[in-house]
């Protein structure tokens, strides 16, 4: 008999920082204000994709910088988001990314990604609240635009 080996792993979530906030995320506007406050992504020169993980009371339990990109793109993979969601054992998520140009109009890629994200979250039993495009002084809800 030929012996085969496998690797044994462990997986952990590492807390990098702590932020204080008040209230709950009840609307996309609430989320927008918190994304601006915590990540300051409306001031970035390249695209950043960020995420809040929420509990069943819509309280933020974790925040992640998912990826950084160029001035008009960011590579994102659904598994990057789902993995973080499962690691922190959250019930709901909301993601956002900035458009350094300031224009909050979602691209075709933004719309397609959001549809895929909605379906993946539904399959995993996660409530996908929204995907926001953030500009200099405003935002656009992609989920609202899709429905």
Average pLDDT over residues 25-41: 92
Q: Residue 85 domain-assigned?
A: yes
Question: Which residues are CB-contacts of 24 (< 8 A; sequence separation ≥ 6)?
Answer: 30, 57, 58, 59
Q: Is the pLDDT score of 147 beyond 80?
A: no
Per-residue pLDDT band at 139 (split at 50, 70, 90): very high
Residue 5, domain member (yes or no): no
* Domain assignment of residue 15, yes or no: no
3-state secondary structure labels for all residues of 89-131: CCCEEEEEEECCCCCCCCCHHHHHHHHHHHHHHHHHCCEEEEE
For 70-122, the pLDDT digits (tens) are: 877 788 889 989 999 999 999 999 999 999 999 999 999 999 999 999 999 99
The number of distinct structural domains making up the chain is 1
What is the structure's pLDDT at 57?
A: 93
Mean pLDDT, residues 2-27 taken together: 86
The SS3 assignment for 140 reads strand
- Residue 14 has which token pair? 């590492």
Q: Given this model, what pLDDT does residue 56 score?
A: 93
Residue 52 domain-assigned (yes or no): yes
Is residue 120 included in any domain, yes or no?
A: yes
The CATH number covering residue 92 comes to 3.40.140.10
pLDDT interval class at 144 (50, 70, 90): confident
């Amino acid at each position: 008999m030929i012996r085969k080996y496998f690797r044994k792993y462990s997986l952990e979530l590492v807390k990098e920082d702590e932020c204080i906030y008040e209230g709950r995320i009840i609307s996309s506007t609430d989320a927008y204000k918190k994304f601006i406050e915590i990540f300051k992504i409306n001031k970035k020169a390249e695209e950043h994709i960020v995420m809040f993980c929420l509990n069943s009371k819509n309280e933020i339990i974790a925040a992640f910088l998912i990826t950084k990109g160029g001035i008009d793109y960011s590579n994102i993979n659904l598994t990057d988001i789902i993995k973080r969601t499962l690691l922190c054992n959250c019930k709901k998520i909301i993601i956002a990314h900035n458009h350094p140009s300031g224009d909050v109009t979602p691209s075709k890629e933004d719309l397609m990604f959001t549809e895929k994200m909605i379906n993946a979250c539904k399959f995993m039993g996660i409530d996908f609240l929204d995907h926001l495009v953030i500009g200099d002084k405003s935002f656009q809800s992609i989920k609202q635009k899709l429905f």
